[in-house]
A and B are shown apart, each in its own frame.
Chain A
Amino acid sequence: DSGVTQTPKHLITATGQRVTLRCSPRSGDLSVYWYQQSLDQGLQFLIQYYNGEERAKGNILERFSAQQFPDLHSELNLSSLELGDSALYFCASSRGLAARSSYNEQFFGPGTRLTVL
């Protein structure tokens, strides 16, 4: 158990709908990362937040958005869902942004499996 929690574990929805995925980082971690893993592929970095502020963006679609709240939990919002959005969505957290430190070790949550029908 990494200490990172994600809810829900599974989500089934229809095309065109909107869903929200939730992530709670490890106690004390200020940074949250979101990744998408499509079937039989590696993880694609989507976005990173640090202490409530967006710090880095990867290949995140405009239909997707995220935020980190004052209690440091984060939500990933996916809208106008398409079949191709079906994937496993991972959240990871790390203590901070220090360049060369164990504090920047990322710990992954168990993921949320999204199925778009």
Chain B
Amino acid sequence: AQTVTQSQPEMSVQEAETVTLSCTYDTSESDYYLFWYKQPPSRQMILVIRQEAYKQQNATENRFSVNFQKAAKSFSLKISDSQLGDAAMYFCAYREIYNFNKFYFGSGTKLNVKP
């Protein structure tokens, strides 16, 4: 089975600064999706950004961008100009394409934002 590893259980960043969250995954597939989800204290799962493995260009959504290194099986999330509202758990997720869209989640990184 595919595995997703987030090696940083907790991170802190100063408001307005930049922080990078790490994620690595293991798969033998060449085609798949990768995601970052945000889970605030409300526990709602909120999609932050999505990357399709067959696209070489890194995805960007406003202040959020990814560094997708397919050969290294690495998928990091960069948050620029951090805001207090960014404080949350962040989960990296891998989704199969040809197996009924199964999702595999990492264990999460808790992001603290200091004013």
Interface residues of A (CB under 8 A from B): 2, 31, 33, 35, 40-45, 48, 50, 55-56, 58, 88, 90, 92, 94, 97, 99-100, 104-106, 108, 110-111, 113
Residues of chain A within 8 A (CB-CB) of B31 are: 100
Whether A108 contacts B45 by the Cβ 8 Å rule is yes
Whether B102 contacts A45 by the Cβ 8 Å rule is yes
Of the candidates A43, A97, A99, A113, the one whose C-beta lies within 8 Å of that of B103 is A43
CA distance A56 to B97 in the complex (A): 13
CA distance A94 to B103 in the complex (A): 13
Q: What is the CB-to-nearest-CB distance from B27 to chain A, in angstroms, rounded to a whole number?
A: 15
CA distance A42 to B25 in the complex (A): 14
Q: For window 43-88 of chain B, which residues contact chain A by CB distance below 8 Å? A: 43-45, 47, 50, 52
Nearest B residue to A113, CB-CB: B43
Whether A108 contacts B103 by the Cβ 8 Å rule is no
CA distance A18 to B31 in the complex (A): 40
Interface residues of B (CB under 8 A from A): 4, 31, 42-45, 47, 50, 52, 91, 93, 97-108
By DSSP majority rule, is chain B's interface helix, strand, loop, or mixed?
Answer: loop
By DSSP majority rule, is chain A's interface helix, strand, loop, or mixed?
Answer: strand
Whether B107 contacts A42 by the Cβ 8 Å rule is yes
Q: What is the CB-to-nearest-CB distance from B41 to chain A, in angstroms, rounded to a whole number?
A: 12
Whether B43 contacts A100 by the Cβ 8 Å rule is no
CA distance A31 to B101 in the complex (A): 10
**A41-B107, A100-B97, A111-B43 are known contacts. Are A58 and B52 too (CB-CB below 8 A)?**
no
Of the candidates B4, B44, B91, B103, the one whose C-beta lies within 8 Å of that of A106 is B103
Q: What is the CB-to-nearest-CB distance from A1 to chain B, in angstroms, rounded to a whole number?
A: 9
Q: What is the CB-to-nearest-CB distance from B29 to chain A, in angstroms, rounded to a whole number?
A: 12
Beyond known contacts A48-B100, A56-B102, A110-B43: 5 more, CB 8 A cutoff: A40-B107, A43-B103, A44-B105, A45-B103, A108-B45
Whether A97 contacts B45 by the Cβ 8 Å rule is no
CA distance A101 to B4 in the complex (A): 23
Residues of chain A within 8 A (CB-CB) of B108 are: 40-42
CA distance A94 to B33 in the complex (A): 15
Residues of chain B within 8 A (CB-CB) of A92 are: 45
